């Protein structure tokens, strides 16, 4: 029978992950050791091994928790209710961006180091990323159903929204002229503007008011 876990077992694991994220982001995965993680957490390297068998396990748990938190936040904002679909999509973008608050290191590690994990673990984490993409794809289609089946434009539109949100950590400042909610709404409006223009191009021509966007802009 295994030794029972201490009451603070989960808190100590989370502390290890909290210090590991900025170390991986600052030094890179290869140059970060379990000894460095233990020192930053204020524990011996041997104690780190008590919670994680190796560095891969630290990275995997760090990214799994980060992605699960993102999915949970977006799913909560994606609940179908009386909101217009445009508002629902903007709320989902705002929830994602809010969840990124104080998680720049985790986000940077996800972008740079997820691919270094063994394939079975990568696939588990990619499945969480794909869940996020599906949630936003469904929300965008609720705004513009005409894009259903449009393999040329639908994914690029969704990934453009992700790009604006995911890379905001490189320049966004909490004391800047726009807060997270405001930027999420701006990014959503930009993507919806493109989605509506594309949907208008796909619609049957019905007089000057319905001229395709490309023609109207020429």
195-207 pLDDT, tens digit per residue, is 999 988 876 544 4
- Report the alpha-carbon distance of residue 136 to residue 192 in Å, rounded: 12
Report percent pLDDT > 70 for the chain. 89
How distant, in Å, are the alpha carbons of 1, 143, 151, 196, 202 from that of 215?
74, 24, 22, 15, 13
Question: What pLDDT sits at residue 201?
Answer: 85
Read off the pTM.
0.86
DSSP 8-class letter at 116: G
Question: What pLDDT sits at residue 113?
Answer: 95
All structural domains of the chain, each given as residue ranges with its CATH number in brackets, are 7-52 (1.10.10.60), 55-216 (1.10.357.10)
Question: What pLDDT sits at residue 8?
Answer: 81
- Report the alpha-carbon distance of residue 44 to residue 35 in Å, rounded: 7
- Report the alpha-carbon distance of residue 52 to residue 38 in Å, rounded: 11
54-113 pLDDT, tens digit per residue, is 999 999 999 999 999 999 999 999 999 999 999 999 999 999 999 999 999 999 999 999
């Amino acid at each position: 029978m295994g030794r029972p876990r201490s009451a603070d077992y989960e808190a100590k694991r989370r502390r290890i992950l909290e210090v590991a994220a900025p170390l991986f982001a600052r030094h890179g995965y290869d140059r970060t050791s379990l000894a460095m993680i233990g020192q930053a957490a204020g524990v011996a390297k041997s104690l780190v091994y008590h919670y994680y068998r190796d560095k891969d396990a630290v990275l995997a748990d760090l990214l799994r928790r980060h992605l699960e938190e993102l999915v949970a936040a977006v799913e909560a904002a994606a609940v179908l209710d009386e909101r217009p679909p445009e508002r629902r999509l903007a709320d989902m973008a705002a929830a994602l961006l809010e969840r990124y608050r104080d998680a720049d290191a985790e986000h940077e590690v996800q972008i740079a180091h997820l691919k270094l994990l063994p394939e079975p673990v990568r696939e588990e984490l990619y499945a969480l990323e794909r869940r996020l993409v599906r949630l936003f794809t469904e929300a965008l289609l609720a705004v513009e159903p005409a894009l259903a089946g449009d393999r040329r434009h639908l994914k690029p539109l969704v990934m453009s929204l992700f790009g604006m949100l995911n890379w905001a950590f490189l320049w966004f400042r909490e004391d800047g002229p726009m807060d997270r909610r405001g930027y999420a709404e701006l990014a959503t409006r930009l993507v919806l503007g493109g989605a509506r223009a594309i949907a208008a191009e796909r619609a049957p021509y019905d007089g000057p008011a319905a001229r395709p966007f490309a023609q109207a802009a020429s």
